[in-house]
Amino acid sequence: SQQGEEDPQALSIQEGENATMNCSYKTSINNLQWYRQNSGRGLVHLILIRSNEREKHSGRLRVTLDTSKKSSSLLITASRAADTASYFCATDGGGTGANSKLTFGKGITLSVRP
């Protein structure tokens, strides 16, 4: 079953605006990750936040994690047309061996209008 559930499913904004995407999950995690996918391409890892962290920045990206609410948000500031893509959150339960895997949400489609 899907662990991460992103919200909204689709988001359309004007270039220069900020984009906020949310992810909720159900079970305890070791870390949460965000990925980006351009149409017809593989996923690219954006950022990882550990369960003991509350906020993390990387360039124009800001990720927050609230383990009490089992939720995370990804903020892209000053969006650009090139940010148009699908964004996925993925939860890592921290298992080893046979439990070594991520669980991905269904993704958010972000469209940035020039």
Partner 1 sequence: SQTIHQWPATLVQPVGSPLSLECTVEGTSNPNLYWYRQAAGRGLQLLFYSVGIGQISSEVPQNLSASRPQDRQFILSSKKLLLSDSGFYLCAWSVPYAGGGREQYFGPGTRLTVT
Residues that bind partner 1 (CB under 8 A): 2, 30-31, 33, 35, 40-45, 48, 50, 88, 90, 92, 94-98, 100-107
Give the contacts of 59 (CB within 8 A, at least 6 positions apart): none
CB of 63 to partner 1, least distance (A): 13
**Burial profile 21-55: b = 16 or more Cβ within 10 angstroms, e = fewer:** bebbbeeebebbbbbbeeeeeebeebbebeeeeee
Closer Cβ to partner 1, 83 or 92, answer by number: 92
* Residue where the block lists tokens 């988001």: 11
Closer Cβ to partner 1, 34 or 70, answer by number: 34
CB of 16 to partner 1, least distance (A): 27
Closer Cβ to partner 1, 15 or 48, answer by number: 48
Closer Cβ to partner 1, 3 or 79, answer by number: 3
Q: Left, alpha or beta for 26 (phi > 0: left; psi -120 to 50: alpha)?
A: alpha
CB of 21 to partner 1, least distance (A): 14
